[in-house]
Amino acid sequence: MEDKKLARKKIIQAYTKKDILKAAIDIIATKGVQNLTMDRVAAEAGVAKGTLYTHFKNKKQIFEAAIQESVVPLLEELSYICESDLPPDQKLENIIRSHLDFFNRHKKFHRVLLYNRNSAHDGRNRYHSSEYKGTIKKISAIVEEGISQDLFRPVDATKAAAILIEAIIGVAIQRLFSDVTTPIDDDVTLINGIIMRGIGKS
């Protein structure tokens, strides 16, 4: 009986935490990070302020957790592409498409990520995050796979992966603030063409 009560409590806590993070993401995306306060998050999530403190010590912890939560679907899609049986060049193209499509469908998440990228503190630490390192590692493996299959010329796979990620982020930011939005496929073709001209053999 105690085990069932404990399991139910954990489920409720997990759902409450997700509600808190969703509220935090909405506040940052619509009102700006300067308006992220414990009181506002509690009100937006529909929980008591005391409940908020059982999950997070302060708004910095909420912000960092919201960043991680917002990229989970994207990281899952990346893993799916990397583990697929597609050839390396098609994997890279699908990674570009999945990133741009994600940012296009989740513009609130995009604004949260953009703030994280440009903030003074996180800007220094971004390249040391486990998410960034993991993404670079997975894309590097695809580049190395392409080199071993003689699809790509010998290059530094880690640097090629970093160039690809930065190109995607740059185009995604441009799409967010541009008055004229081109079809995603056009931007996928643009990025992929530039990357393939750099590492492709033909």
Which tens digit of pLDDT belongs to each residue from 107-159? Answer: 766 666 666 665 544 555 566 677 888 999 999 999 999 999 999 999 999 99
CA dihedral 53, 54, 55, 60 (to 10 degrees): 30
Q: How many angstroms separate the CA atoms of 187 and 136, rounded? A: 21
Which tens digit of pLDDT belongs to each residue from 2-42? Answer: 554 444 444 445 558 888 888 888 888 788 778 888 999 88
Q: What percent of the chain has pLDDT over 70?
A: 81
In this structure, are residues 92 and 155 in contact, taking their beta carbons and an 8 Å threshold? no
Considering only residues 179 and 168, tell me which one the structure prediction assigns the higher pLDDT. 168
Q: How many angstroms separate the CA atoms of 32 and 9, rounded? A: 33
Segment 85-92 mean pLDDT: 96
Instruction: Give me the pLDDT at residue 146, please.
Output: 96
> Could you give all domains of the chain from N- to C-terminal order, each with its CATH number?
1-56 (1.10.10.60), 68-199 (1.10.357.10)
The predicted model scores a pTM of 0.77
